[in-house]
């Protein structure tokens, strides 16, 4: 069955790509600026995305790839809602890859006509693979991660965010997360959205709230979170279009509702 084969190969390719990145951190890394000094890309980002583009093209020539570095931008126009599409972030957390040499990942989500099929997030330095095939449950490596029945309240919650909340953004007049910062147990800001979202899917974090993400950032984790029955919407509480840039708010139903109603002042 094609989904099983996609699942098997996604994991295999993520391990192969991870091996390349593990070797790369001990060598000199060539860094370029994309839009600014805060927006980095290395030759490894491009190499890993090209690696996936070639594998997908050879094995599933009728599938499409949407990746951060745009190596497959020569694909003809297509409607992602009518195709099998791979959302690939070759390195999520490039800044961590360059500076810290840890806390980055490879993120691969596969969607069939918009439906989540496979989600794989591989942290090569920790050697941890978060993965799911729709309907089969979420795993870290070989360990099945049972969806937790706990329903944390705001004051018990550990929540990931990205630093863009600290800059002026479309959701505020004031800082909407300031009150939340004093109410919740803690914020975390790891620098790899895909890894942080995967951590919500396995219960290591209670929620995450990000703005300005691309499909490749949340694609794989979207599949993991949906599989666990954890809410994932835009910050405005709307359904995410996985093929377009989006804000992301994820948490279990009760916490998701409490964040939305208590802390987010949505667009005027």
Query: What residues line the site for ligand 2AM (CB under 6 A)?
Result: 39, 68, 89, 92-94, 162, 164, 191-193, 212-213, 217
Residue 123 marked ligand-binding: no
What is the spatial distance between Cα 138 and Cα 7, in angstroms, rounded to a whole number?
A: 12
Residue 92 marked ligand-binding: yes
Q: Closest distance between Ca ion and the C-beta of residue 136, in Å?
A: 26
With vertex at residue 216, the alpha carbon angle to CA 4 and CA 242, rounded to the nearest 5 degrees, is 80
Q: Which two tokens stand for residue 78?
A: 């297509």
Question: Residues 90, 124: contact at Cβ < 8 Å?
Answer: no
Q: Closest distance between ligand 2AM and the C-beta of residue 88, in Å?
A: 11
Judged by beta carbon distances under 5 to 8 A according to partner kind, the member of Ca ion, ligand 2AM, none in contact with residue 212 is ligand 2AM
- Picking from 126, 150, 256, the residue whose alpha carbon sits closest to that of residue 202 is 150
Q: Closest CB to Ca ion among 90 and 116? A: 90
Q: Closest CB to Ca ion among 116 and 219? A: 219
Residue 91 marked ligand-binding: yes
Q: Closest distance between ligand 2AM and the C-beta of residue 106, in Å?
A: 10
Q: Which residues contact 264 (CB under 8 A, 6 or more apart)?
A: 171, 176, 235, 236, 249
Q: How many CB atoms lie within 10 A of CB 148?
A: 13
- Strands 105-112 and 231-233, bridge-based pairing: unpaired
Binding residues for Ca ion, rule: CB under 5 A, are 68, 89, 91-92, 217
What is the spatial distance between Cα 135 and Cα 148, in angstroms, rounded to a whole number?
A: 16
Judged by beta carbon distances under 5 to 8 A according to partner kind, the member of ligand 2AM, Ca ion, none in contact with residue 93 is ligand 2AM
Q: Closest CB to ligand 2AM among 213 and 235? A: 213
Q: Closest CB to Ca ion among 101 and 260? A: 101
**What is the phi-psi region of residue 117: left when phi exceeds 0, alpha when psi lies from -120 to 50, beta otherwise?**
alpha
Question: Residues 247, 235: contact at Cβ < 8 Å?
Answer: yes
Judged by beta carbon distances under 5 to 8 A according to partner kind, the member of ligand 2AM, Ca ion, none in contact with residue 227 is none
Q: Closest distance between ligand 2AM and the C-beta of residue 259, in Å?
A: 19
Q: Closest distance between ligand 2AM and the C-beta of residue 235, in Å?
A: 13
Question: Residues 196, 190: contact at Cβ < 8 Å?
Answer: yes
Residue nearest to Ca ion (CB): 92
Residue 217 marked ligand-binding: yes
């Amino acid at each position: 069955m094609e989904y099983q084969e996609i699942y098997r190969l996604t994991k295999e390719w993520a391990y192969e790509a991870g091996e390349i990145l593990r070797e790369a951190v001990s060598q000199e890394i060539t860094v370029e600026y994309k839009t600014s000094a805060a927006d980095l890309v290395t030759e490894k980002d491009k190499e890993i995305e090209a690696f996936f583009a070639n594998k997908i093209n050879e094995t599933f020539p009728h599938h499409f790839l949407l990746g951060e570095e745009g190596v497959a931008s020569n694909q003809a126009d297509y409607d992602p809602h009518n195709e099998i599409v791979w959302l690939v972030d070759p390195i999520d957390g490039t800044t961590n890859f360059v500076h810290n040499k840890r806390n980055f990942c490879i993120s691969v989500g596969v969607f069939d006509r918009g439906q989540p099929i496979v989600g794989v997030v591989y942290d090569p330095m920790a050697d941890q693979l978060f993965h799911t095939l729709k309907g089969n449950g979420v795993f870290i490596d070989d360990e099945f991660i049972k969806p937790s029945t706990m329903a944390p309240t705001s004051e018990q919650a550990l929540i990931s965010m990205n630093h863009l909340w600290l800059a002026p953004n479309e959701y505020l007049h004031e800082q909407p997360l300031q009150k939340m910062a004093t109410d919740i147990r803690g914020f975390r800001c790891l620098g790899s959205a895909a890894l942080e979202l995967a951590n919500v899917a396995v219960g290591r974090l209670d929620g995450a709230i990000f703005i300005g993400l691309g499909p490749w950032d949340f694609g794989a984790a979207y599949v993991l979170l949906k599989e666990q029955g954890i809410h994932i919407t835009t910050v405005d509480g709307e359904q995410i279009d996985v093929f377009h840039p989006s804000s992301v708010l994820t948490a279990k139903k009760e916490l998701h509702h409490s964040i939305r109603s208590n802390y987010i002042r949505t667009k005027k």
